[in-house]
Amino acid sequence: MAAIRKIILGLIPADGIGREVVPAAVRMMKNLPAKHNLQFDFVDLDAGWGTFERTGVALPEKTVERLKTECNAALFGAVQSPTHKVAGYSSPIVALRKLLGLYANVRPVKSLANTKGKTVDMVIVRENTECLYIKEERMVVETPGRRVSEAIRRISEEASVKIGKMAYQIALSRQRIRDAGAASIHSKPNVTIIHKSNVMSVTDGLFRESCRYAQTLDPAFASVSVDEQIVDSMVYRLFREPQCFDVVVAPNLYGDILSDGAASLIGSLGLVPSANVGDDFVMSEPVHGSAPDIAGRGIANPVATFRSVALMLEFMGHQEAAADIYRAVDSVLMEGKVLTPDLGGKSGTNEITDAVIAKMN
């Protein structure tokens, strides 16, 4: 019998419906089939706007310390941000990405087989530390009517190679998930490199070259086919023929824009997972916000959180367990009998959780 594999998972429900979908995910994880030999130990942690209101700190040092010393992964719920500037408050999720070295934002976007419209089954891999998001801006000329501002766009070989390697690793992982029986429109792994090197030959040229070089660093990557797409034509193709794309890797700004655009192709944000990934740690989070208008009503859609857990398991090497979650979720959604209001149904969080657990066993 295979040895039990332990996952020590930091739980940060944070705000709003995060406090409903994270417990639902915990219940789902506790009901994973025994054949996967996974044991979860859960560490409850605080962060978010509610924590700030209680303590004056949005991300307590104790939370960061316990994530670093006790946990090997984390699940973040949702953070509620004030609509106006509040002295001393800053987003805990942004801070965690930096403090934990989570240099990649990974967002799978997948439509269902019975969904009307374009078929989508892609992962957008966004470099998370550079580009214009280093936020080095200045006003060069401040004369009224003649003001000129500048922003530095930083692309490094080191960061670009790292994100390129991750894209190839994800492509191979997705293929293992497909081989384990998960439904997909793709039969072979592919990576598309996004750039604008025809205009920005130095910065985007370096990104393109680095991602190409990353494929040479592991013999296993040779089985991944690679192509390129200029970012503006990528936007065009994203909406016209999204079925062509498997794994898409992009600099920070392009990845931000493309991932939001891709999410719009499948409808509800309650379906879209994401993960913030580093070399030794993964923090998954559903893409949806805290949804204060429905918080506490028991109707929040936990599907994005379930898929975020599956994504976390993929990065931790548990592809078969991830495939079981994906299959169960897809089966419930395709049957259409148990759906939350955002998907046109009348079921609640507990009902859809029960349905997914039933499909896994």
Mean pLDDT in residue range 166-189: 88
Residue 139's pLDDT is 93
Residue at token pair 């240099």: 103
Residue 117: pLDDT band with limits 50, 70, 90: low
Which option is the CATH number for 156-265: 2.20.28, 3.40.50, 3.90.380, 2.30.30?
3.40.50
Domain boundaries, the chain: 1-115+269-360, 156-265
- CATH class of this structure's domain 1-115+269-360: alpha beta
pLDDT exceeds cutoff 60 at 86? yes
pTM summary value: 0.86
Q: Specify the DSSP class assigned to residue 165.
A: H
pLDDT exceeds cutoff 50 at 294? yes
Q: Which two tokens stand for residue 333?
A: 């959604």
- Give the whole-angstrom CA distance, residue 195 versus residue 163: 14
- Give the whole-angstrom CA distance, residue 227 versus residue 224: 10
The DSSP result for 336-359, as a single string, is -SS--GGGT----HHHHHHHHHHH
Cβ-based neighbours of 344, under 8 Å, separated by 6 or more: none
Residue 197's pLDDT is 96
Residue 343's pLDDT is 86
- Give the whole-angstrom CA distance, residue 132 versus residue 251: 9
How big is the CA angle at 283 (ends 229 and 247), to the nearest 5 degrees?
20
Helix, strand, or coil here: 246?
coil
Closest among 125, 119, 111 to 241, alpha carbons compared? 119
Residue 113's pLDDT is 62
What percent of the chain shows pLDDT beyond 90? Answer: 75
pLDDT exceeds cutoff 70 at 121? yes
Asked whether the beta carbons of 6 and 39 are under 8 A apart, the reply is yes
Amino acid at 278: G
Q: Which two tokens stand for residue 328?
A: 């169960």
Residue 1: pLDDT band with limits 50, 70, 90: very low
Mean pLDDT in residue range 290-311: 94
Per-residue pLDDT of 6-20, as tens digits, reads 999 999 999 999 999
Residue 69: pLDDT band with limits 50, 70, 90: very high
Residue 235's pLDDT is 96
